[in-house]
Amino acid sequence: MAKRDEPIVAGFRSERWDVAVQNHLAKHLVLQDEEPRKRVERSRFLREEDDSSTLQGALTSVFEKLSSSYANALVCRSEEHDEQKCYHGEPELERLVATSRNESELRWAWVSWRNEMSKVKGLFTTSVALQNQGAWNNGYLDIGECWREELETSDLENVVEDLYRQIEPLYKLLHAVARFRLVQKYPDIVDPRGPIPAHLLGNMWAQNWASLIDIIWPRAKDNGSVTGALKRKNVTVTKMVKLAEDFYVSMGLPQLTSSFWENSVFERENRSEIACHGTAANMYRDNDYRILICAEVNAEDFYVIHHELGHVYYYMAYKDQPTIFMDGANSAFHEAVGDAVMYGVMTPQHMQRLGLISDSTPDDDLPFLLRQALSKVPQLPHSLVIDKWRWKVFNGEIKSSEYNEAWWAITRRYQGIEPPLPRSDFFFDPAAKFHVTDNTPYVR
């Protein structure tokens, strides 16, 4: 567990020293090789000496307020015996939406969280203006162009649009199947020919529909239940992390460091102030790597732990590089490592090796593939929605007075979902997603 007097995720190098070194290198070091030159140039973003105490300070303050708003936001309601119960977005509301089949309860969770997070609209608008100022100072058209350049893919907007077109037929088929079953479940709520109400898809952001397996294919409900097996075996969250470590070690990678086990946070416990979105961190000192996750014993968190350890093992792989190159090839590589491993972990064969399911048969293939499709295919249009909307905000095409209207227009177009009730531009529904308040690019 993390030490109480030390941040979970924080840099330990002197920022002032980093700024001085990077600016000196960028201005005076002649590099013939394109890749190192680009990396040094990129390190100067928002680091100009005459801006460091003003623009950077203002941005840091806004980002801290946005992150804190997401981490500390609570929505409350009266439950049994009029007892007041309060929920964070992650993981409490997220799990309620995944398990409840009560339409009014789902509607309450979905609407209440978005109403609460709409309060940060002004902060977000300020962050856009400040980031764009930094981008202009460094020769970019807007901060969106800077984000896209990091992936080193020319014409990224068209590339991701083309990728979506490739999976669109499969997504539409999956959407039709889900809508058909949801019409049967909620005949007075779901239009058989229209968008699906977003609160009914088993996920706070409609990005993962795997929890709907009992509705979409009822006879697959208990087939190979990893969550049930983990609980029957009395597996703890710490044991899930250990099993994930064992998987990486079985591929010839080293064991996790002692500081990882000392400083990571695996469960919320009594820490009401922390942001519970799964996060991995390289502390840049003494083999100090950490993850933060408010996990419970269930299959989804078991998979997320494997994903986060993918980041940690990538950090460990480049630990001997010079500091300025101590990073992934780009952010997409970091995400790919964890997801590639996670696909191997999710297979019935591996679950069988762990003793979490009985011998798999060919009849298990279809439920497994359906779960995979429900889990991963909706993620693709969801990713496109988030950053297509932000790119348009950054370049000024979407004004602050149009945030919500534009968000739902793009969401209906790509995800085929709609809010359970009208949402005017008074609200700011994009802020319900961690990556928006955390200012983290999603297409990667």
Domain edges within the chain:
1-41+235-322, 45-224+377-437
How far is it, in rounded angstroms, from Cα 271 to Cα 246?
Answer: 28
45-224+377-437: CATH class = mainly alpha
When pLDDT is cut at 50, 70 and 90, the band that residue 27 belongs to is: very low
3-class DSSP state of 417: strand
When pLDDT is cut at 50, 70 and 90, the band that residue 44 belongs to is: low
Per-residue model confidence (pLDDT) at position 79: 84
Active site residue 435: yes
If you average pLDDT over residues 232-246, what whole number do you get?
96
Task: Give the model confidence (pLDDT) of 403-416 as tens digits.
Answer: 999 999 999 999 99
Task: Give the model confidence (pLDDT) of 245-275 as tens digits.
Answer: 999 999 999 999 999 999 999 998 776 667 7
Q: What share of the chain is helix, strand, coil (3-state, %, to 5)?
A: 60, 5, 35
Task: Give the model confidence (pLDDT) of 378-403 as tens digits.
Answer: 999 999 999 999 999 999 999 999 99
Residue 9 pLDDT greater than 50, yes or no: no
How far is it, in rounded angstroms, from Cα 161 to Cα 149?
Answer: 17
When pLDDT is cut at 50, 70 and 90, the band that residue 357 belongs to is: confident
Question: CB neighbours (10 Å) of residue 231?
Answer: 13
More confident residue, 246 or 327: 246
If you average pLDDT over residues 136-161, what whole number do you get?
92
Q: How far is CA 18 from the centre of its chain?
A: 28
When pLDDT is cut at 50, 70 and 90, the band that residue 43 belongs to is: low
Buried-exposed string 105-127: b where 16+ CB fall within 10 A, e elsewhere: ebbbbbbbbbbbbbebbebbbbb
More confident residue, 214 or 23: 214
Given 90, 116, 267, 308, which residue is catalytic? 308
When pLDDT is cut at 50, 70 and 90, the band that residue 13 belongs to is: very low
Residue 345 pLDDT greater than 70, yes or no: yes
Per-residue model confidence (pLDDT) at position 41: 54
Average pLDDT, the chain: 87
Residue 52 pLDDT greater than 70, yes or no: no
If you average pLDDT over residues 156-166, what whole number do you get?
96
Per-residue model confidence (pLDDT) at position 21: 44
